[in-house]
Amino acid sequence: MFVLDTNVVSELMRPAPEPRVFEWVDAISRNDLFIAVFTQCEILLGIAKMPHGARRDVLAARAGIMFSDRFHGRILAFDSLAAVHYVDIFTSRGKLGRPIALFDAGIAAIARANGMAMVTRNVKDFHGVGLDIIDPWSA
């Protein structure tokens, strides 16, 4: 099973997603693809920060479809086990001199708590967090 990073979900929301990403996602059973609640936060926050207008409205509609249809029942919450993993990920990366962004640490913690692989373009952002990492742009 797989947790899709925000950049993968954003790519899937584009009118013409990168073919390699679309093909990789399409080849996986829908029931094996999940997102973390922090990905939903990042996308909704990005849309909320946009100026009002047609582009924002289109992205908001696509996000609504993404969260209510494509990933219905497969948005993973941040729970107590994820909190334990979060602290480990955040502190261990800091000790290595490679701090990790708060949302990235949360997404990684949720993936680790659920025993899932991470699917992202930003491989270096998740290096050393104890996850199998897949880059669908190069897969």
Q: Give the domain ranges of the chain.
A: 2-134
Answer whether 6's CB lies under 8 Å from 107's CB.
yes
Beta bridge partners of 97: none
**Model pTM score:** 0.94
Does the domain formed by 2-134 have CATH 3.40.50.1010? yes
pLDDT tens, position by position, for the chain (139 residues)? Answer: 999 999 999 999 999 999 999 999 999 999 999 999 999 999 999 999 999 999 999 999 999 999 999 999 999 999 999 999 999 999 999 999 999 999 999 999 999 999 999 999 999 999 999 999 999 999 7
Amino acid letter, 84: V
Has 104 been labeled as part of a binding site? yes
The CA-CA-CA angle for residues 105, 66, 80, to 5°, reads: 35
Residue 103 CA, chain-centre distance (Å), reads: 9
Answer whether 128's CB lies under 8 Å from 97's CB.
no
Distance CA(61)–CA(107), nearest Å, equals 23
